[in-house]
Amino acid sequence: MNELTIALAKGRLAEDAYNVFKGVNLANNVDLKSRKLIFEDKDQRLRFIIVKPSDVITYVEQGVADIGVVGKDTILEQGGNIYELLDLPFGECRFAVAGYKGKKINRKDEVLKVATKYPKITVDYFAEKGQRIQTIKLNGSVELAPLVGLSDVIVDIVETGNTLKANGLEVLEEMFEVRAKLIANRVSYRFKAKEINAIQTLLRDGRENFDTVYSQSK
């Protein structure tokens, strides 16, 4: 049986990802509160590495991690030569164009100023609509941009809508939904197929099924 390395994102997805793995008796030795970045589980031949959300795809694409957990938003924004294996039951949110109530986003020849953490997703979306835009790339607190006149609108993730509401903004147009995904390195997926499929089955169907599949792969 081959050892698998799994890249987990720090931040918002960390706790849910950890709970999902722990719920099926993996990741028992991972301690998110510590400053440690590598956790080995020699018995189960698993190694967890803890990385920034925006670096998960890099670790998986380079083959340093065989599989990883990352938001679909990051996959759409960064791309990457990886397989998307499974939708995971957390990180659910949606993309939206947002701004002050009544702000027009379809402006014919006028250029719309859009602030976002996701320039590629934004450019693709407005290109499809035929609306010319100027993209302003931010790294966070995106809702601030229309308030201080940096942009006309924003493209961002909305979950509860609390951040928009707290800043007097609202959704002007819904775009699409995203959630967390299990991804795999393409070569690992061929050469460690049994192990990766076992993890996939486990996360999808629960422990009982996993014990059967995993013991067969030893």
Ligand X SMILES: O=P(O)(O)OC[C@H]1O[C@H](OP(=O)(O)OP(=O)(O)O)[C@H](O)[C@@H]1O
User: What is the contact surface with ligand ATP in residues (CB under 6 A)?
Assistant: 9, 11-13, 52-54, 71, 73-74, 91, 93, 157, 159, 178
By beta-carbon proximity to ligand X, the closer residue of 88 and 142 is 142
- Minimum distance of ligand ATP from residue 13's CB (angstroms): 5
User: Can residue 121 be called a binding residue for ligand X (CB under 6 A)?
Assistant: no
As a whole number of angstroms, the distance between CA 52 and CA 45 comes to: 23
**Using the 8-state DSSP alphabet, how is residue 193 labeled?**
H
Per CB under 6 A, the list member of 19, 81, 106, 141 interacting with ligand X is 141
User: Can residue 119 be called a binding residue for ligand X (CB under 6 A)?
Assistant: no
Q: Are 68 and 57 in contact (CB under 8 A)?
A: yes
By beta-carbon proximity to ligand ATP, the closer residue of 94 and 194 is 94
Residue nearest to ligand ATP (CB): 71
Binding to ligand X (CB under 6 A) within 148-177 occurs at 156-163
**Coil, strand, or helix at residue 31?**
coil
Looking up tokens 């190694």 gives 47
Q: Are 52 and 13 in contact (CB under 8 A)?
A: no
Element (H, E) at 178: strand 170-178
Q: Exposed/middle/buried for 136, CB within 10 Å: 0-12, 13-18, 19+?
A: middle
User: Can residue 13 be called a binding residue for ligand X (CB under 6 A)?
Assistant: no
- Binding site residues, ligand X, CB under 6 A: 140-143, 156-163
